[in-house]
Chain A
Amino acid sequence: MPEQFLFAMEVILNGLMAGVLYALVALGFVLIFKASGIFNYAQGVMALFAALTLVGIMDGQVPFSHIINATFGTELHHFGWHVPALLAIILTAGVMVVFAWLVQRYIFRHLVNQEPIILFMATIGLAYFLEGVGDLMWGSDIKKLDVGLPQGINEWIDVTTFEAFGYGFFIDNLDISATIVAIFLVAALIIFSQYTKQGRALRAVADDHQAALSVGISLNFIWVLVWSIAGFVALVAGIMWGAKSGVQFSLSLIALKALPVLMLGGFTSIPGAIVGGLIIGVGEKLFEFLIGPMVGGATENWFAYVLALLFLVFRPQGLFGEKIIERV
């Protein structure tokens, strides 16, 4: 088999894995957009904040130590204990629920019925705010996140493919575990929204706010719920990206990676987010591999957007979005 083809195969596989991670972030967007019509730019920063909190709890960091030290002249840094990963994840999930409640109670309750762009701007404000809080609470240095996921090249795939094709594929163990976790997460979300009372209520709200309200569903509760779920999804995304490239500011930029995925898949469709993520992941890796060297590389930043843009010109509501019907 020609080598170029094998390289391309490897690139596609890696693209699929990256696509899963994009889809994970996009999922958080879709959940909130469906349930409340808020285009939540802060999703990426939520992932960063969740990852920072997780690392902070695991290492027993003193929150706000920096500002306390600067104000009172103390030398606080660590509590001196280590929290096991699982407990830390549960605690962080708890923090995200509190965060969801705060956001709902103090921001979006006051902005009900505002125009979408105002809500969007509010989430950008929230993103700035949360970024500042995260840095202030846990410090802005790059942190290593290790929750015990396997890392490094997968030997088995390397050996098997080498025996089969004479060329060993390089697949990161972390990507494989991310894919498995993502599959479980999506399955859990589907089961939750199809078979539980709250899940049904959530779908009802997504369908029609007023009708849901009139049959006695509490919008406030649903919105807190959906922000909590989005917070949890952000936590998972934060763990995966954080384990991959360290917990640092650039983690919040994955929100920008998720936007073209959303455009492609449609803002209101969960399957769209997943399929869109995979298409973008494969598309940009393949483009960088085939065309990138000819135009100077680093095409990954914009290719996804241009792909989504071209796609939208032919199908304005995205791949799986609801058909846009306009009336005067």
Chain B
Amino acid sequence: MFYREAGDFKVSYPEDSQTFPIKFDRYRYYLVLAVAYLVIPFFINDYWANAVFVPFLIYATAAIGLNILTGYCGQVSLGTGAFMAVGAYAVYKLMTAFPEVSMLIHVPLAGLVTAGVVTIFGLPSLRIKGFYLAVATLAAQFFLVWLFNKVPWFYNYSASGQISSPERSVFGIIVTGPNTEAWAKYMICLIFVTLAALIARNLTRGSIGRKWMAIRDMDIAAEIIGVNPMMAKLTAFAVSGFFIGIAGALFFSVYLGAAEVGESFGIDKSFLVLFMVIIGGLGSIFGSFAGAAFMVLLPVFLKNVFVGMLGWPTDLAAHLQFIVSGGLIIVFLILEPHGLAQLWRVAKEKLRLWPFPH
């Protein structure tokens, strides 16, 4: 009834190839954009920005990046944390070296740097497959974290070994540093996540995305029908690295403010983003958002319940949080291995038939 292709006539080629060809999808998309850009910035406060919205948007960007690599191209990566660190350190070096340049330029540049690094670490994927590759990406994780710890040039020889983001602005509005307003933090993340989602969505619809999916489904068969596996895999690594780098840059400069590489970009982060992708749904841009929302909201929710409502000590609550999130992940995988995106697909299928069940 609401969600249908019938009666939605396309009379020109651009109309036929637009990003959201179905009306319901398109209006939903406009509505979400309108709420995100025109409503939330006016109501957001520091708590909501720092606890929910900013991490959600940043993790969504990282999840989109990983989803392109793992969900669309089938290359499992456990190095996301370190790749985010590359973005963070790249943006830090850029911010301190060129203070007058806008963040809108620095962040994509950091993304490009990360894309290069990730492509280098993606080279073994041409020989190694499956879990061997997943473990191989751990090499990147440990090596990069070690490198950022040991080479003082990366953290500008600061005594603590930490990097902390200086105050930088976009069009006169401060977006990094301690004096940033909540809405400014939110807006800069929102702009990048919107762009990332739009680019990712269109890349995955196009020929390059089809090549990735062919590689994912069976790389030998894909090679036989004329997909160049080297190009497909390396572009997936590069594009994925670009988004993860942007996420890492924002995570450090806007969200954390100061970061120590082993703590902020450790292997936990890799697993966290991988969880988002799996719970959201492999091979779905919407799933990246859904998974990021789920994994960001879950700890906030659990903490509120355990500490706020039941009044347990915080260390106990932390243990319980481990148990509940671990348990929920397992339950989720058992009930819906294809993630939240699959639930959404099922819902759309129901909407298509509603109110007549057949």
Residues of A at the B interface (CB closer than 8 Å) are 39, 66-67, 70, 107, 110-111, 114-118, 120-122, 124-133, 135-136, 140, 256, 259-260, 262-263, 267, 295-296, 298-299, 301-302, 305-306, 308-309, 312-313, 316-318, 324, 326-328
Q: A125-B330, A132-B321, A328-B220 are in contact. Are A259 and B132 (CB under 8 A)?
A: no
Count, chain B residues at interface, CB 8 A: 50
Identify 12 new A-B residue pairs, CB closer than 8 A, beyond the known A115-B337, A125-B325, A308-B136: A111-B334, A121-B333, A122-B333, A125-B326, A125-B327, A128-B329, A129-B327, A256-B138, A260-B135, A298-B149, A302-B142, A316-B132
Question: Are B316 and A66 in contact (CB-based, < 8 A)?
Answer: yes
- Which listed residue, B139, B282, B316, B337, touches A305 by the CB 8 Å rule? B139
Question: Are A302 and B316 in contact (CB-based, < 8 A)?
Answer: no
Measured CA separation A256–B316 after assembly (Å): 26
Residues of B within 8 A of A302 (CB): 139, 142-143, 145-146
Measured CA separation A193–B224 after assembly (Å): 42
Question: Are A120 and B322 in contact (CB-based, < 8 A)?
Answer: no
Question: Are B146 and A299 in contact (CB-based, < 8 A)?
Answer: yes
- Which listed residue, B131, B150, B334, touches A298 by the CB 8 Å rule? B150
Residues of B within 8 A of A262 (CB): 135
Q: A309-B139, A328-B220 are in contact. Are A298 and B146 (CB under 8 A)?
A: yes
Measured between C-beta atoms, what is the minimum distance from A35 to chain B in Å? 16
- Which listed residue, A107, A132, A313, touches B322 by the CB 8 Å rule? A132
Question: Are A128 and B326 in contact (CB-based, < 8 A)?
Answer: yes
Residues of B within 8 A of A316 (CB): 127-129, 132
Closest to B76 in A: A117
Measured CA separation A70–B312 after assembly (Å): 7
Q: A118-B337, A313-B124, A328-B221 are in contact. Are A135 and B135 (CB under 8 A)?
A: no
Measured between C-beta atoms, what is the minimum distance from B145 to chain A in Å? 8
Measured CA separation A216–B323 after assembly (Å): 37
Measured between C-beta atoms, what is the minimum distance from B117 to chain A in Å? 15
Measured between C-beta atoms, what is the minimum distance from A298 to chain B in Å? 6
Closest to A324 in B: B129
Closest to B219 in A: A326
Measured CA separation A302–B328 after assembly (Å): 32
Q: Which 8 A-B pairs have the closest CB atoms?
A: A132-B322, A128-B326, A129-B326, A125-B329, A305-B139, A132-B323, A302-B142, A296-B150
Measured CA separation A66–B320 after assembly (Å): 12
B274 within 8 A of A: yes
Measured CA separation A296–B124 after assembly (Å): 27
Residues of B within 8 A of A267 (CB): 131-132
Measured between C-beta atoms, what is the minimum distance from B156 to chain A in Å? 17
Question: Are A305 and B319 in contact (CB-based, < 8 A)?
Answer: no
B95 within 8 A of A: no
Measured CA separation A121–B70 after assembly (Å): 13
Q: A118-B333, A135-B322, A301-B142 are in contact. Are A326 and B220 (CB under 8 A)?
A: yes
Q: A129-B326, A136-B320, A301-B146 are in contact. Are A116 and B130 (CB under 8 A)?
A: yes
Closest to A260 in B: B135
Measured CA separation A107–B146 after assembly (Å): 36
Residues of A within 8 A of B127 (CB): 312-313, 316
Measured CA separation A107–B151 after assembly (Å): 44
B271 within 8 A of A: yes
Closest to B147 in A: A302
Closest to B325 in A: A128
B 111-151 binary contact with A (CB < 8 Å = 1; else 0): 00000000000001001111110111011001101100111
Measured CA separation A29–B321 after assembly (Å): 26
Measured CA separation A302–B337 after assembly (Å): 32
Question: Are A140 and B142 in contact (CB-based, < 8 A)?
Answer: no
Measured between C-beta atoms, what is the minimum distance from A111 to chain B in Å? 6
Measured CA separation A288–B346 after assembly (Å): 54
Question: Are A308 and B267 in contact (CB-based, < 8 A)?
Answer: no
Measured CA separation A111–B332 after assembly (Å): 11
Measured CA separation A156–B221 after assembly (Å): 62
Measured CA separation A118–B150 after assembly (Å): 35
B 260-297 binary contact with A (CB < 8 Å = 1; else 0): 00000001000100110010001000000000000000
Residues of A within 8 A of B220 (CB): 326-328
Q: A132-B326, A140-B319 are in contact. Are A110 and B334 (CB under 8 A)?
A: yes
Residues of B within 8 A of A309 (CB): 124, 128, 136, 139
Question: Are A117 and B135 in contact (CB-based, < 8 A)?
Answer: no
Question: Are B322 and A306 in contact (CB-based, < 8 A)?
Answer: no
Measured between C-beta atoms, what is the minimum distance from B138 to chain A in Å? 6
Measured CA separation A221–B278 after assembly (Å): 29
Question: Are A133 and B323 in contact (CB-based, < 8 A)?
Answer: yes
Measured CA separation A326–B151 after assembly (Å): 42
Question: Are A131 and B322 in contact (CB-based, < 8 A)?
Answer: yes
Closest to B130 in A: A116
Measured CA separation A317–B131 after assembly (Å): 11
- Which listed residue, B130, B151, B315, B333, touches A125 by the CB 8 Å rule? B333
Measured between C-beta atoms, what is the minimum distance from B198 to chain A in Å? 27
Question: Are A124 and B329 in contact (CB-based, < 8 A)?
Answer: yes
